[in-house]
Chains A and B, each alone.
Chain A
């Protein structure tokens, strides 16, 4: 294989390493891509991270980038294969959002974030598994089978971007895109021992992202290192005329924030995030992470976010209300599954009843209830008002501190099936992540330790809206002074 690199050496690489190897001519994109395709062939029957790959198409694209490189092309992601969560549309490649109702759907256009990656020279390696329409925290709600955690195949990878996180952790791809509506990039990254970045709301175009909760959804990278996440953010961020909620704000050189220096940075520790219910090993690991940040020169500041307890109930009312409206489009007429009925309404009922899985139905029902006559004021409007209070908590906190640190998830990866019969228990796994979506913040999860079972623990850094440089700076400094990222699962 390429220039004496073994398959294992090639697939252990993230973007920065692979890019350097390609630039120096140590191996070609075809060799690199072939190595990842072989790795998928070897381990994905166990991990089940990918819903589909298109090897011939992918290899042909890789060979084309090798020709372009020989002709002088120097685009930042030239020849880098990437995995894409299956809620992002890809022209000509089936896209299902993990739902049977979209089985066989082949999009006529590509999501802006994916298009930007391709414009930077990247190659789509395949589409990764997800909870159906990104509704879930374990990837067990996919209509096409569960994904397993590469650190322990009897455990979940987290979700909903569990396929992307597991694929990165299992060295099946250098990096991936996920989406985060209430923690769906950060939580699976934590449970799989990789880096997951949720950009601020409006930072990345949502055009071509199959909508779940439109005021909360954001696309973000899942990577092996902070530098890789930074590089991908630099490429996918920016205003898009096709998404009126993308912010018309210039994209900074995020990589300039990776100095390793956090002297004088003010790091807030919210009292309300360290309460009972956290797995003790998670709390210990995150607290020693905070000590490490202090040793590196940061100032640790205790803060209060008094409305923390309200974030989950508010999130569930807002996200299900938005989902019930967004998923009204699955009517069996324009695309997707179609089940005949006697009348047009019967056609809708039969199609939707047959095509949606249990969790999606549950959330559509909850959202429809919260928006229905007699309950709108008490649930949906009230939730939007409390959302204001939650946002104000963070506005006040970020007047005092640069970033906020917490655990990403209260526990490490749980067992497959453990929470499937208890929707409320599953909801509680999102306790530290949903606030960032409600308040439009940016957040990143980075590895900060392992529990007694050898399962990875994630540390979350939250920053204000458009404060990506701050969380990336702190995350990079921590990562460079610890060695958690060097441990990989054995498969």
Chain B
């Protein structure tokens, strides 16, 4: 079992993790080692076996749709690194070429 540095870089991008070159090398080795160990489950015949995502006998747990006490806006944003007027402030998600306004013009 071997992982290339590019494969590790791809996984890091999926996980949105900034990794150093040294970390990429280290994880390439360690993940390969752990995956080789995990490989033993491939030998098990699981043809007709249903998967178990959780062990509960419950399917849906539904609650009545009644308003209840909840966090205030101030409490909800109290740990935000950057908040204003009860909102989280983030870097703009769309760049100019894909702005909502220009897309609107094409409709």
Q: Which of B44, B61, B90, B93 contacts A386 (CB 8 A)?
A: B44
For A201, list chain B residues within 8 Å (CB).
54-56
Contact with B along A343-387 (1 / 0, CB 8 A): 111011110111010100110111011001000001101111111
Q: How distant is the Cα of A372 from the Cα of B8 in the complex, in angstroms?
A: 12
Total count of chain A residues near the partner, CB < 8 A:
69
For B39, list chain A residues within 8 Å (CB).
313
For A414, list chain B residues within 8 Å (CB).
none
> In this assembly, does A38 line the interface, its C-beta being within 8 Å of a C-beta of chain B?
no
Contact with A along B29-40 (1 / 0, CB 8 A): 011011101111
Q: Which of B8, B16, B78, B81 has the largest count of A CB atoms less than 10 A from its CB?
A: B16
For A343, list chain B residues within 8 Å (CB).
91
Q: Which residues 10-46 in B have Cβ within 8 Å of A in the complex?
A: 11-12, 14-19, 23, 27, 30-31, 33-35, 37-42, 44, 46
- Contact check, A385 vs B38: say whether CB atoms are below 8 A apart: no
Q: How distant is the Cα of A368 from the Cα of B46 in the complex, in angstroms?
A: 23
> In this assembly, does B49 line the interface, its C-beta being within 8 Å of a C-beta of chain A?
yes
For A365, list chain B residues within 8 Å (CB).
8, 11-12, 15, 17, 27, 31
Q: How distant is the Cα of A247 from the Cα of B61 in the complex, in angstroms?
A: 10
Number of residue pairs across A and B with beta carbons under 8 Å?
Answer: 165
- Contact check, A361 vs B23: say whether CB atoms are below 8 A apart: yes
- Contact check, B11 vs A241: say whether CB atoms are below 8 A apart: no
Q: Which of A324, A337, A369 has the largest count of B CB atoms less than 10 A from its CB?
A: A369
For B34, list chain A residues within 8 Å (CB).
316, 366, 423-424, 427
* A368 nearest CB neighbor, chain B only: B15
- Contact check, A215 vs B19: say whether CB atoms are below 8 A apart: no
* A338 nearest CB neighbor, chain B only: B81
* B71 nearest CB neighbor, chain A only: A108
For B37, list chain A residues within 8 Å (CB).
312-313, 316, 424, 427
- Contact check, B80 vs A384: say whether CB atoms are below 8 A apart: no
Q: How distant is the Cα of A369 from the Cα of B8 in the complex, in angstroms?
A: 9
Q: Which of B54, B63, B79, B82 contacts A241 (CB 8 A)?
A: B63
Task: Known A314-B41, A317-B38, A343-B91; judge A361-B55 contact (CB<8 A).
Answer: no
For B82, list chain A residues within 8 Å (CB).
333, 338
* B77 nearest CB neighbor, chain A only: A334
Task: Report whether over half of chain A's contact residues are helix, strand or loop; otherwise say mixed.
Answer: helix
- Contact check, B27 vs A387: say whether CB atoms are below 8 A apart: no
Task: Known A378-B42, A388-B49, A465-B55; judge A336-B17 contact (CB<8 A).
Answer: no
- Contact check, A384 vs B51: say whether CB atoms are below 8 A apart: yes
> In this assembly, does A341 line the interface, its C-beta being within 8 Å of a C-beta of chain B?
yes
- Contact check, A361 vs B27: say whether CB atoms are below 8 A apart: yes
* B63 nearest CB neighbor, chain A only: A241
- Contact check, A362 vs B40: say whether CB atoms are below 8 A apart: no
* A214 nearest CB neighbor, chain B only: B54
13 inter-chain pairs at a CB distance below 8 angstroms, sorted by A residue, are A201-B56, A244-B61, A245-B54, A316-B34, A332-B81, A344-B91, A344-B93, A352-B15, A358-B23, A366-B31, A384-B53, A388-B52, A427-B34
> In this assembly, does A254 line the interface, its C-beta being within 8 Å of a C-beta of chain B?
no
For A386, list chain B residues within 8 Å (CB).
41, 44, 46, 49
- Contact check, B18 vs A385: say whether CB atoms are below 8 A apart: no
- Contact check, B46 vs A364: say whether CB atoms are below 8 A apart: no
Q: How distant is the Cα of A372 from the Cα of B11 in the complex, in angstroms?
A: 8
> In this assembly, does A450 line the interface, its C-beta being within 8 Å of a C-beta of chain B?
no
For B80, list chain A residues within 8 Å (CB).
333-335
> In this assembly, does A439 line the interface, its C-beta being within 8 Å of a C-beta of chain B?
yes
Q: How distant is the Cα of A372 from the Cα of B39 in the complex, in angstroms?
A: 16
Task: Name the 4 nearest CB pairs between A and B, nearest first.
Answer: A353-B18, A440-B55, A384-B51, A338-B81
Q: How distant is the Cα of A248 from the Cα of B92 in the complex, in angstroms?
A: 44
